[in-house]
């Protein structure tokens, strides 16, 4: 294998689904500025997700509308005049 191909800064990171407050911890090298206190009492970097396997319709079998940025309202107001 080639040397220095993969990043060397893997660490434990908490990923949090903001639509249903589900969190999980795994190893990652993603950069983040936020931290969160985990169940074990330690503090880990936090990455906020809009959707995960607990809220995605493919995995849940339910159609759930996740509108985090108000995109649907913007669309309706933009095309309501026409």
**Residue 61, pLDDT score:** 64
* Domain boundaries, given as residue ranges, for the chain: 11-79
The answer to whether the CB of 51 falls within 8 A of the CB of 65 is no
**Residue 75, pLDDT score:** 77
**Residue 57, pLDDT score:** 63
Return the DSSP state at 62.
Answer: S
**Residue 62, pLDDT score:** 67
Could you read off the pLDDT of 68-77 as tens digits, one per residue? Answer: 567 777 777 7
Closest by alpha carbon to 20, among 71, 73, 59, 76? 59
The answer to whether the CB of 19 falls within 8 A of the CB of 66 is yes
**Residue 67, pLDDT score:** 60
The whole model's pTM is what?
A: 0.65
Ranges of the chain whose pLDDT falls below 50: none
Locus of tokens 């669309």: 75
């Amino acid at each position: 294998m080639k040397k220095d191909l993969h990043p060397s800064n893997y660490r434990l990171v908490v990923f949090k689904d903001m639509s249903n407050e589900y969190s999980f911890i795994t190893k990652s090298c993603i950069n983040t500025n936020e931290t969160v206190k985990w169940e074990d009492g330690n503090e880990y970097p936090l990455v906020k997700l809009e959707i995960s396997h607990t809220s995605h319709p493919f995995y849940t079998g339910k159609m759930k509308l996740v509108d985090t940025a108000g995109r649907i309202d913007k669309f309706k107001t933009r095309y309501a005049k026409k």
